Amino acid sequence: MQKSLKGLDRFFWLYLMLNPVLDIVNGVFIWMLTRGYAMEAVNYRELTNAGGMTATPALIVRMAVLVVMVVYILLLRDKKAILTALPMGAAWALSVVSELINFGSLNLSLDVTFFARFAYNVAVAMVYLNVFRRSSLTREQLIDKVHCYINGMTIIFALGILVPYVMNVGYRTYYDRFGARGVRGFYYSGNDITGAFMILLPLALAYFLFLPKERFTRGRAFLYSLGPAMSLLCLALIGTKTAFLALGVSAVIMLLYAIVCLVRGDRSPILRLVLVAVMTVVIAVIVSAAAVFMNGAGQGLMKILEGSLGGMRDVAEEPGGSLISGRWNKLAATFASFKEAGPFAWLFGVGRGSQGHIIEMDLCDVAMFYGLFGCVTMLWMYVKYGVEFLIRFFKGFDVLRLGAFVSLGLTVAYLTMAGHVLFTVTSGFFFAFALVYARLLTTEKDKL
């Protein structure tokens, strides 16, 4: 059994690097399928089954991995993970019962798929807690290894945007009445890839500033500045309000940290940020020049940014053109069903299958679809680990903890106001992983 467990530990390390590859392959598959129908901006769900939840290739792989995660947890006899999962399963079952009672019908496929996405992310946290705990590395060595993978993931994610941008293939971020603008490469969900960069960028920047001088070789300086620089450029290319917010907040907070260090006599952080800025500019010039050479002046970086900022201005000038106006409409419609359904639904929700849409505000999705019981059982792990990190954050401040604080803080704000985290298998995966990593920073390895 121990040999099998060690093999699974190695697989889960490898799986970190496979995640961005899965999203790229998935996006290429959908892009080729929709282009085959001569519909550049077609909605894949409408193309396949008139708006129901679809099983994309990446989701099928991830659900198979979820089964492997469950087997891993059972082999370890992890009581904490099992006791976390059982009440969540009860919350889901009771939401389905509530759906049947209140609406007289079920959409079981939608109920199962939506909850499976949530359960997958919780399983990620439980699994990587065990992978870290079982590692033979010291806590410091483990942190270094985690960041090696984080930097690798940011680079792979970035290539999934920069290469299609240069080749003028893949998706634009927006297709609407204001035209096509922004670039999200081969990622089908712009919000999901934005969430992934939002989580990983602060962690990568923090580690670049953290690296001890004796280990800050030219090779490491290049490699560990490459991931943050490419991520900053990709967020600018995506060009949404959320992307610019993630870029700005991450950069400004790290700059403030570097200025404080400079005032205290340490020039290293500010010089390293200058290096990241230079790398970002160099990559931007190279990539933009390549795009213009291959596709014409209209594909230059400045033109892309101009289109994204102009689109945001046009939307803001429209009546109701706020960041979350559409989500408020969905919330109002779902809340009306929730309110009319009565006490049983208030406790256990109206069920995901009863609604034709998600609210896209994750905490509201949990509250309406799974009720009060669902809020307690499904969010308990996130709240517990988050609060414990906040308490310990101030007891031993360093730049790695600051990076985790920014990463988690941005993501919590995002999932509260704009969704796209807890019920998605890309940004949700990395949010759960970042939460476990933050716990590693503030807790002894054997007490994870």
DSSP annotation of 181: E
Which alpha helices (H) appear in 168-240, and where do they start and end? 190-210, 218-238
Confidence of residue 50 (pLDDT cuts 50, 70, 90): very low
Q: What is the pLDDT of residue 178?
A: 63
* Residue 20, phi then psi, degrees to nearest 5: -65, -35
CA–CA separation, 121 vs 116, rounded Å?
9
Helix (H, G, I), strand (E, B) or coil at 176: strand
Can you give the residue range of the structural domain that contains 51?
2-447
Q: What is the pLDDT of residue 45?
A: 53
Residue 200 · residue 154 · CB < 8 Å: yes
The mean of the pLDDT values for the chain is 89
Q: How many residues does the structure list for the chain?
A: 448
* Residue 77, phi then psi, degrees to nearest 5: 55, 45
Residue 186 · residue 160 · CB < 8 Å: yes
Q: What is the pLDDT of residue 13?
A: 97
Helix axes 2-36, 427-442, angle to 10 degrees: 150
Per-residue pLDDT of 357-367, as tens digits, reads: 787 788 999 99
- The pLDDT of 272-299, averaged and rounded, is 90
DSSP 326-337: HHHHHHHHHHHH
Q: What is the pLDDT of residue 52?
A: 44
Query: Which sign does the torsion angle of CA 291, 426, 155, 381 carry?
Result: positive
Residue 358 · residue 331 · CB < 8 Å: no
DSSP annotation of 322: S
CA–CA separation, 284 vs 81, rounded Å?
44
**Burial state string for 262-273 with b = 16 or more CB within 10 A and e = fewer than 16:** eeeeeeebbebb
Q: What is the pLDDT of residue 49?
A: 47
What total of structural domains would you count in the chain? 1
Q: What is the pLDDT of residue 306?
A: 81
pLDDT over 90 (residue 401):
yes
Per-residue pLDDT of 256-269, as tens digits, reads: 999 999 999 999 99
pLDDT over 50 (residue 51):
no
Per-residue pLDDT of 153-191, as tens digits, reads: 999 999 999 999 999 888 888 766 666 778 999 998 888
Per-residue pLDDT of 108-143, as tens digits, reads: 989 999 999 999 999 999 999 999 999 999 999 999
pLDDT over 80 (residue 311):
no
pLDDT over 60 (residue 4):
yes
Per-residue pLDDT of 202-252, as tens digits, reads: 999 999 999 999 999 999 999 999 999 999 999 999 988 899 999 999 999
Q: Kindly report the pTM of this predicted structure.
A: 0.93
